[in-house]
């Protein structure tokens, strides 16, 4: 999959991908705000309330390698079109599931939402396809910054549309998701990334999966992204349940999630520049420290300000850790290995996120009997993963393996 770097084309594609992240990405805010609440409404067991969100992550994990293969063989546009079709279909299924009050059918829709989420995960990689090495961190960062508008659009759509099809709760918001995906079809028609050239006979296709995993830079990049994303999902999945369970309103939960998503994406306007100035390892380390701070604030109380501060820190920490890991990964492979590495990375990342999401509902609803105790259990569960990522980063620095990298 060899493309000649051309920053003028890369910048043109960047506009399309930022718009996609903003408009299509808002459906993920809607899904994460309402997924647990809709699950609680439909589920016969409160411990399964966040299972719809877990199925989204599972769907994303399982389809990431497939999506990478589709894009490697047929191009980015084909993969992204497949994603929006899946996103629209999943929302239609979930609207119907809410009407007939079928938890099982709602779970099917959640899994299909994961197919869209998998495709969205490749927006950041698509931004680097035509970019020069110097422009790569900025391109990744700016695509992620498109989520800033998603952070505003998604929660506001929840407020405006969740009761649109009353007395069926939440169905109006899921109906809106269908319209967002239809817009996506027209957006991706403007994407200009050449289809990959097939590997000719005798031409090397690069390292095997095991060789890639044994490459220190790739291993540390994946661990950093896995931990940053899974911790963000672990805490965010339970947040609406914790906020409502502690006596606040659904609209307040939506505002907290909105602040969190803003914190996820606002730093993207300068994260790429920070990586260029200070080095990717320092930015990842800073992200892990901020994630730890989010857990400490959450453990310190369940007042509204605690939720806001903790979720804002959670978003910033995710941004530095995830963009840092993505940037490290983008500099660690050849063009021929691109699809293999990216598919493997997102399979690993969303595999860890699936486990975090499944754990989130159990920790929140089955840890003691009160929302406060469940929320405390969720935030204490951050510690082992923070230790894993911090240890990997320290090993990478101490052993000097980072000297093999083009990024310091």
CA separation for the pair 131, 75 (Å, rounded): 16
DSSP state letters, 186-204? HHHTT---PPPPPPPTT--
Reference 210, options 218, 200, 198; nearest CA is 218
CA-angle at 124, arms to 21 and 196, nearest 5°: 115
**Please, is 12 exposed, middle or buried when counting C-beta atoms within 10 Å of its C-beta (0-12, 13-18, 19+)?**
middle
Residues in CB range of 202: below 8 A, 6 or more apart: none
Residue 205: predicted pLDDT: 66
Distances (CA, A) of 155 to 76, 158, 286: 28, 5, 28
Reference 375, options 302, 312, 306, 285; nearest CA is 302
Walking along the chain (408 residues) 10 residues at a time, the average pLDDT comes out as: 66 92 91 85 81 86 89 90 96 95 94 94 86 82 85 86 88 94 93 75 69 86 93 88 85 85 85 89 95 95 92 95 89 75 86 81 73 88 93 85 49
Confidence (pTM) = 0.75
Contact 190, 16 (CB under 8 A): yes
- CATH classification for the domain delimited by 7-197+207-404, as one of 3.40.50.620, 1.20.1250.20, 3.60.15.10, 1.10.274.10: 1.20.1250.20
Reference 362, options 31, 48, 104; nearest CA is 48
Please tell me the number of Cα atoms within 13 Å of 66 on its side-chain side: 12
DSSP state letters, 318-336? HHHHHHHHHHHHHTSS-GG
Widest Cα–Cα separation across the chain: 65
Residue 407: predicted pLDDT: 41
Reference 130, options 84, 195, 218, 73; nearest CA is 195
Contact 378, 235 (CB under 8 A): yes
Q: Where are the alpha helices (DSSP H) in 199-249?
A: 209-213, 216-245
Domain spans of the chain, in order of start = 7-197+207-404
| SS3 assignment, position 83 | helix
Residue 406: predicted pLDDT: 44
Helices 136-145, 147-161: inter-axial angle, 10-degree rounding: 10
């Amino acid at each position: 999959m060899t493309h000649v770097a051309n920053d003028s084309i890369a910048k043109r594609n960047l506009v399309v991908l930022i718009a996609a992240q903003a408009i299509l990405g808002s459906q993920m805010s809607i899904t994460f705000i309402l997924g647990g609440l809709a699950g609680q409404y439909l589920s016969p067991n409160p411990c399964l309330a966040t299972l719809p969100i877990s199925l989204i992550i599972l769907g994303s994990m399982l389809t990431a390698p497939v999506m990478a293969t589709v894009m490697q063989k047929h191009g980015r546009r084909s993969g992204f079109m497949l994603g929006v079709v899946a996103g629209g279909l999943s929302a239609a299924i979930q609207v119907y599931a809410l009407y007939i009050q079928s938890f099982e059918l709602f779970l099917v829709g959640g899994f299909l939402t994961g197919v869209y989420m998998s495709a969205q995960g490749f927006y950041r990689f698509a931004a680097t396809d035509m970019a020069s090495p110097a422009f790569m961190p900025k391109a990744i960062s700016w695509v992620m910054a498109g989520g800033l508008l998603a952070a505003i659009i998604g929660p506001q759509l929840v407020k405006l549309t969740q009761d649109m099809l009353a007395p069926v709760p939440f169905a109006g918001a899921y109906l809106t998701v269908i319209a967002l995906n239809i817009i996506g079809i027209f957006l991706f028609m403007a994407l200009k990334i050449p289809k990959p050239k097939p590997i000719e006979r005798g031409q090397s296709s690069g390292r095997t999966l095991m060789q890639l995993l044994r490459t220190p830079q790739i291993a540390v990049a994946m661990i950093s992204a896995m931990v940053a994303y899974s911790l963000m999902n672990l805490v965010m999945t339970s947040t609406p349940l914790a906020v409502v369970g502690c006596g606040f309103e659904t609209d307040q939960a939506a505002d907290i999630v909105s602040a969190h998503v803003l914190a996820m994406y606002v730093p993207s306007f300068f994260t790429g520049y920070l990586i260029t100035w200070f080095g990717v390892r320092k930015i990842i380390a800073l992200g892990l420290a901020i994630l730890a701070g989010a857990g400490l604030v959450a453990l310190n109380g369940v007042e509204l300000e605690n939720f806001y501060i903790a979720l804002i820190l959670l978003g910033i920490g995710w941004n530095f850790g995830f963009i840092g890991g993505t940037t490290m990964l983008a500099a660690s492979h050849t063009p021929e290995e691109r699809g293999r590495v990216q598919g493997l990375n997102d399979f690993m990342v969303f595999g860890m996120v699936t486990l975090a999401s499944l754990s989130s509902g159990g920790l929140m609803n089955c840890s003691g009997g009160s929302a406060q105790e469940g929320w405390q259990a969720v935030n204490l569960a951050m510690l082992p993963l923070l230790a894993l990522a911090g240890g990997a980063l320290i090993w990478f620095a101490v052993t000097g393996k980072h000297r093999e990298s083009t990024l310091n």
